Structure formats: structure tokens, C-alpha cells
Structure 1
Amino acid sequence: MSILFIGENGQPVLDYANSESEVAFAKYGFNVAASDKISLDRSIPDTRHAECKYWHYPENLPRTSVVIVFHNEAWSPLLRTVHSVVNRTPSKLLLEVVMVDDFSDKEHLKNKLDNYVKQKFGSTVRIIRNRQREGLIRTRNIGAENARGQVVVFLDAHCEVNTFPRWLQQYSRRTVTVPVIDSIDMNNWEYAQQRGYGSKPLYRGIFEWGLLYKEAEIPKQEEVLREHQSEPFRTPTHAGGLFAINRDWFEKLGYYDPGLRIWGGENYDLSFKVWQCGGSVLNVPCSRVGHVYRRAVPYSFGNVSGPVVSINYKRVAEVWMDEYKEYYYIREPFIRKRDAGDLTQQRELRLKNRCKSFDWYMKNVAYDMPVLYPKLPQNLVWGEVVNPSSYLCIDTMGKRNFETIGVSPCHHSGGNQLLRLNVKGQFASGEWCISASHGQLNAGRCVPMTVDGPWRYDKTSQQISNAPLNKCVALKRQTSQLVLAECNANDEMQRWVFNEIYL
């Protein structure tokens, strides 16, 4: 009689909710208390398509370096990542695992980790340590520069490699391969097959104009290129954490832009340059890797200040997006005047590699993206929306599911108080649109594939009106609530000023 240990075959930890787990969430962004109950060598289900078991792969696949970057990572998720790589990759293909420590200060990641890795894996796994905090992006560059394999595979520090990663197959030197990413639950550590997109089992990565990563159904003209559901397919971009790339090709592309700080935007930097400079990005359905998505980032950005991710996006837009960068600035107007640093090296790299235009990329690779996320019309007004009489600002308060929004003291920091109203009447904050219901204002998902809306702004009377309802946005004196009221140009509670703020 066999005994099924906790978490085996990807099963969840049942008694995961307790005070210990809450402490773990605060420290690491996921439930490490549950993870610690599971073997570092646990089994997980084979989530591949049935066809994957019958493919024949070349025997002479390139030897590979697996790079795992970590900063103050919890012990069991980090080591389970390494164990899964070593356990499920044939030794003739796995040259090494390179763990790169981005200046962690937790004791368990110092001598204890060194001793464990040496005793358990010998020379197969080695640790490189940064002498200062570099961030995920630059630390991955360090890992690639120190890798010895012909192919470099990047993994996050909280993954579980599934069946032998078929992404190591070299479709061409300039092909970046991306696995299907299964889900590992942040609460109970259950391993679950990726749900796909809608009724489809797979999706490809795209983006919206704020450069937020999105997923979309595989277009029919891509599907016809595949005879089997298990065959790789082209993807305009990828989520960023898990992929394989030829080491020399990565070097020729200049690795990641070293001007990108900490994390954010690196997936676009790589995807755009790969496609525009003569390469391709493929999703490989027969390669599966489980990944834990954190509740929140549990660490600080150190001495780095400012809107780090938005500045990273600006660097990518300025180097690779040509005239299309304007749509990013319409979507994120607060970043237009922000200094993104010296871009000379990146622009010279693009010229040296004779890379194609972003218009070519949009028409030949990401051609479905403007259908799902149409080009944005110009903003009529944008900024923090303040009522001059009360000095309160409209605030979406993080509401997402068509919940009521309100007002709060103006803080001049953007975020939930940064809104824009375009010339076609769409009133939005980030990717969320403002709508009206039962006399109140709500925030929720914008109507798919649209850029217009019912809102108008009169710069003379300073009123925001809803044209179909013929009502104006007003601040209720007694309760400080946002309501829709009969329009009255003399009512100071209906006056709203859009103050542009640059972060």
C-alpha cells in the first residue's frame, strides 16, 4: 500500500489557513507555511496534450544553462524550483543551473544555501552573488553573461518544471521558446493545468497600449499553420519570466536593456527586439512549467525611486515602438516628460542589427492586437480631477468590478486619482473605465474593442456630463459622495478641474 504524501501529484495542502500562513504571506507574497509541508521532490501531474507523448525529438539537443534569479526568496519554493530542474531534465542536456543571488540579506540564503547546494548537487548547481542590488533584469543579464551553455533557460525562483522541457529543441538560432505556464496556487500550492483562453486550451501573449500584458485567442491564420494542437505557435510577446534563448543570439541583441531597472518591461524589450531584428518567439505546448503568482511584491526597490515600471516601459517605447509610442503616452500621459535615461546604446544596437520597424511588427506579428485594443484617440483632458471648492479629487479607490467610486483628498501622486477623458468620450483610469449606474459613478472593465464613451467635458463651465443621461457629475455636500445630478452651471459642486501631473 502506497502512502500519498502532502502535496504529491500536485495536490493542495488542505490545512493551509492559519496565523503562520498570514505571516508567510506578509514576508514572501505567498503561503510559504504550506509550501514547507511539501517535499522538494514532489510529483506533479503531466499536463501536456496527449499528442506530446508521441513526438520524436532530436537526440543532439544543445546543452543548457538554467538561470534562476532570486532576492530574499523563501527556502522551499526556491529549492523546489532547483530540484524540479535537476530531476526532470536529462543530465546529458543540463550543463548547469546558475543561481544568481541579487543581494539577499536573509540568513537562510547565505552559508546554509551554499552548503545545501554543494552537498546535494555538487558542480551541477552553482551560485553567483551580486555585491549590490541590481534588480531582476540586470541580474538576469549577469546570469546570461556567466552561463556556459549554448542555450540559456530563465526561470523564476518559484516554479516547478513539469515534464522534460521540450523548449530546448532548436527551431532556429534566433527563436525564443516559451513554455505553457501552469498555475501553482499561492495559498495551498495546488498544481493546476493552464485554463487557456475562453473555450480554447491555449493563448498567445499580446499587450494593451499601457503595455500591460494580456492574453488572446490564437488567430485563425496562425492555427492553419499548425497540423497538430501540440505544435508550437507564434506569439507577439510573452509573460516574461520563463523562456529559452540561444546565448550568442541573446548577446548579439545586447541582452536585456541594462537601463531597465529592477523589473517590468523586460518582456517587451526582448520580444520587440527579437521579432524586429529577425527572430521569432514561439509558444511550445509540449513544454509545461508551473509558476506561483504572488499576492504582492514582498520586497522594496531599494534606493530606486519614481514610477520604475512606467519609466521602463518608456525606454522600450522610445527605442522600439517608433510612431506607435504615442499611444503609450496617450494611455499613460503622466510619463511623457519623465527622463528615461540615455538611450544611445539601445538605438545604436537597433541600427547595427538592421531591425525592422514597429509598424512591420504590428502588421505581421501583432496584427490582432489593434482589433482587441484599438488605437487610442487623443485625450481631451487628463490629470487629477479636483473640485476647487472642496479640494477633493475623484478617486477610483482601486475599484474594479463596477463598484462605486468616490473622492478623497488630493495627494498629487497619480495612481487611482489619475484619470483621462478622450475626445470620443471615454473616461478612464488606467485600463478601467468610468460608467454611470443608479445615479452613481462606477469603475470597471471598458467595453471590449472600444475607445469611446458617453462622457463630455465643458472647459468653460468645468462640468463633466453624461450625454445619454443628460446629467452632470456632482459632489454631494453632506456626504462627499459622487453623484449624477441635473446639470447646473452655477453649482460649484459640479465644477471639476483636470490638473496635469507628471510623475
Structure 2
Amino acid sequence: GENGKGLSIDTRRLSKKEQKKVDTGYVRYAIKEYVGNLVSVRRNLPDPRIQDCKDISYPKDLPKTSIIMCFHDEAWTSLLRSVHSIIDRTPPRLVEEIILVDDNSTYDHLKDPLEEYMSQFPKVKIIRTERWEGLIRARLFGLNHTSPKSTIVTYLDAHIECMDGWLEPLLEPIMKNPRTVTMPTINTIDSTTFAVDTDQAEQVGIFKFPALRFFWMKTPERIDRARKSPADNIQSPAMAGGLFSISKVFFNHIGTYDNQLDIWGGENIEISVKIWMCGGSLLLSPCSHVAHIFRKRLPYIGGYHEMLRNLGRVANVWFDDYKYKFVNQKGNMDPFGDISERVKLREKLQCNDFEWYRRNIFPEMYFPGSGVHYGNIQSVAEPNICIDGGKLKRSEPILPYPCHGEENQQWDYTESMQIRMRDLCVDLSGGAFKTESCGGYDAQNWKYHVCRVNAT
């Protein structure tokens, strides 16, 4: 695993005893823990930063941060690698403490053995919840145990590896403006080989209707054009939620997390829109890199119904009339509980409305029918011919087809001047008339001219 290289093992060549270890590890942790145990907990990693980032000199008086990592039944070496990567690649003067929040884990290795191992690090402290609280309330539990000496809190997942120079780019924007929230560029650690991918394209976080699921999107050109250097931070409409830094004063000012959100899910959408709508900004740093294991499934039972309930709370507090774009699709979701206190918080903060967020922060937001115009696109020369999405696959040509008014001929013309159907836009790059992933490119900008066609 040195230098972030992966380790592949042909499990068919292992003994039955060793194969059972492989299977048990995957069932428990949703990663190939057997391989992870063979990778050094203090391995070297390549530096993925561009030269513009390496050339930046940061102030010597950057504020200290408390780093919080929550875990529930985490794999031993994944947790250790996370902690070692912080200690080994972070200037000690910037870290007030590293708080490990054990959210009622059941495995023995996370009890006394973990206490004994971490005792060698004076800045690491372990706190434990009395019951399984779930990620959201466990994070709040950790926040309440931070030292008053730190002004910033940094949340990290417990299956990450911080890379060279990761923290300074997150702290400096907050020092300049405490209403700024920062997040690192997230590189992927393969869950089976533990290889680290250092070729991460610049992206921004978004969420999509109707399910309100988080996605990454290539940085729109409108955002890129406002940047003077490749090292400049990127305004992001939303965050993935696992890795970010925030001023403790500002976090408390906007009401931290809704403590009625259960287990996980939706908290990243809530905090993202709340930051922007209530006077803050959310920046992704291309100079900060943290590698993260993305598991193919949750390693524990539960979470889906709680996620729907959480999203219902978020939509009904923050989305105004746009909440129906979600609720209409999830009409049978569980009741989301009393939201009156969160509504009062929004009123007290005098936050902007969701339409402001959509127009100013996330104009690329899309759902069918959300465009300025919606419907068939007919030929002027042959009115019975429409452009047809066909099977609507990326890089597929757009074909003329007799108009039939069904779904694959219903296009949106958006405020961003795109002709769009679901996640694909009409694109003319390379001179070919086709559908491509929507991304705010010039080749996807279409001017709409109102004209009158004489009937014959």
C-alpha cells in the first residue's frame, strides 16, 4: 500500500480459514478488511496538489481546530490510518485536539485496546455515547466536548487518509471570514485494494430532485470563469457532508444540525442550503486533499426510512414551495415530526428563501418541467417532426422523429440556456448534435428566439 498503491489478493489461493476472515471482514465493515490489515497504518501517500497550491504561503497565525471523527463498529486499521494521517501530515500548532466519538460500538477492539493505543497521543481523546445515536447526533455530542481554546471544528469520517498540506487551505478562508465553510477535495480509496486515486477532477456538490440525493457535478463554467487561479477555492452549492471545517460560532449561529434528524442522511442537504441562505458561503478547496473509503453499502442495519424522514424535515423547513418536488414523489414517507423550532430558527436568522438559493447559488438545479419553457421541440419546416431523446444515453445522436408528445420528446429550456432532459443536455461540441452530461458548457448554450410561424 505504499505511495497509495493498491494491494490485490487472489482469495481463491487462500486457505479456507483465511477465506473466512476475508468474508467476515466484508460482512462486518463493507470493505475488504483483510487487505486493509496488510496495509501500513502509516503508509506514505503521493502529493496530489498542483504546483499553484504548493507555492502558497499560509499565515503563521492560523486558528486552531478541534477535529472530530465519529465511528460505530469501525475496522481497526481503517481507524488507525485515519488518526495517523492527521498526526503525521498536520502541523501540531493547528490542532487543538482530535476527538474520537465512539457511537456505542459493539466490537471489543474499540474498547480497551483502542484506549491503550491512543494513549500515546496526548491530543487524542475518546468519548463514548451511552446508546447508538447515529452520525448526526454523535457529531453534536462531539461538538459539545470540544475545547473552548479552538475556534473551528473540523469533521472527518473515520475511514480517511489526510494528504500533505490538507488543513491550512481549510482554515485560512475561515480566518478571513468566519461565515465561510470549507471542504477538501475528496480522493477515493478503493474499498477492496485500498488504492488511492489522486486524479480527481474538479467538481462541485449538488443534489437532485425528486429524491434529493447528493451528486458531484463538473464545475460549471460560470464558477470557473470567476476564478483567477487553479488554486482558487470553488463555490459549491452543496457538500457531501462527511468532511468539512466550520467556525464554531457560525455553526451555533445557524443552529448546528437539526437534532431530530435520525442516524444519517439529509444533514448534508440541510447544512448546505442553510449556510448559503443564512449569510454564509461554502467553498471547496482544490489545495486540500483527503482520501476517503466509499463503501458499497452500509455496514449496519437501518437508515433508509430515517433518511426519508430526515429529507422530509429538511424540505419542509428550507425548501418553501419546492418541497412539493420531493414530497409528491415520496407521499408515503414516514411523518417527519414537529419542525416548529426549526422554522422559528429560520425566521429568526432572516434567511433568504429557497428561490434565492436556486437563482443565485444553484441555477443548474433541475427537475422535469423546471425550465423557462417545457415541451416538444418541433421543426419549423416540418411541424410534424420533433427532436427525440430516444433511449437518452450519453453521447447518443439526437434524431428527428414524428411528434408523439410522450416523455422522450419533453424537453426543458432552462435559465442556463440549456435544452435538457433529465441529466442530459443537447450538445454541439465537435459539430455533432447529441446528448451529453449537463455541465454549463458553451456547447450546451442555446439562444431562444420568439418567432411567429404562419399556419398553412
TM normalised by structure 1 equals: 0.70
Counterpart AA for 1:325: K
2:99 alignment partner, SS class:
strand
Q: Following TM superposition, by how much is the alpha carbon of 1:15 offset from its aligned partner in structure 2, in angstroms? A: 2.0
Q: 1:374 to 1:279 in 2, by over 3 A?
A: farther
Q: Which has the higher contact order (CA 8 A, sep 6+)?
A: 2
- In structure 2, do the counterparts of structure 1 residues 290 and 374 end up closer, same or farther at CA, with 3 Å as the change threshold? farther
Look up the match of 1:326.
324
- Distance change >3 Å, CA 9–CA 260, structure 1 → 2: same
Q: CA deviation at 1:345?
A: 1.3
Does structure 1 residue 13 correspond to structure 2 residue 28?
Answer: no
Matches within 5 A, 1:464-483: none
Q: Confirm or deny that 1:313 pairs with 2:289.
A: no
Q: How does 1:52-451 map to 2 (within 5 A)?
A: 52-118=53-119, 120-121=120-121, 123-148=122-147, 149-164=150-165, 165=167, 166-169=169-172, 170=174, 171-196=176-201, 202-209=202-209, 210-301=211-302, 307-335=305-333, 338-370=334-366, 375=370, 425-426=406-407, 448=424
What letter matches 2:307 in structure 1?
V
Deviation at 1:236, TM superposition (A): 0.4
Question: Structure 1 residues 62, 76: CA separation in 2 closer, same or farther (over 3 Å shift)?
Answer: same
State the one-letter code of the partner of 1:12. Answer: G
Determine helix, strand or coil for the equivalent of 1:89.
coil
| Equivalent position amino acid for 2:343 in 1 | R
Q: Go from structure 1 to structure 2 and tell me whether the alpha carbon gap of 1:23 and 1:16 turns closer, same or farther (over 3 Å shift).
A: farther
Q: TM-score, normalised by structure 2?
A: 0.77
Deviation digits for residues 372-422 of structure 1 (CA, Å, limit 9, x no counterpart)? 86539xxxxxxxxxxxxxxxxxxxxxxxx99xxxxxxxxxxxxxxxxxxxx
When you count strand as a share of all residues, which structure comes out higher? 1
Name the amino acid aligned to 1:172. N
Gaps of 5+ in 2: 13-18, 372-392, 395-404, 409-420, 427-456
In structure 1, what is the Cα distance between the partners aligned to 2:10 and 2:114? 26
Deviation at 1:426, TM superposition (A): 4.5
User: 1:330 offset after TM fit, Å?
Assistant: 3.0
The answer to whether the 8 Å contact 1:181/1:194 transfers is no
Judging changes above 3 Å, is the alpha-carbon distance between structure 1 residues 88 and 275 closer, same or farther for their aligned structure 2 residues? same
Displaced runs of 4 or more, over 6 A: none
Amino acid aligned to 2:27:
A
| Identity among equivalent pairs (%) | 35
In structure 2, relative to structure 1, the CA distance for the partners of 1:33 and 1:360 (3 Å cut) is same
Alpha-carbon distance, 1:217 to partner? 2.2
Structure 1 residue runs of 5 or longer lacking an equivalent are 1-6, 197-201, 377-400, 403-423, 428-444, 451-503
- Note the alpha carbon deviations across 1:122-180, whole angstroms, 9 max, x for none: x2000110001100011011111211221111001100000122212124101110100
CA distance in 2, matches of 1:362, 1:16: 49
Say how many residue pairs are matched.
370
- Cα RMSD, aligned residues only: 2.2
- For residues 317 and 426 of structure 1, what CA distance do their matches in structure 2 show? 27
Provide the C-alpha distance between the structure 2 equivalents of 1:172 and 1:229, rounded to a whole number of angstroms: 21
* Aligned mates of 2:219, 2:27 — CA distance in 1: 37
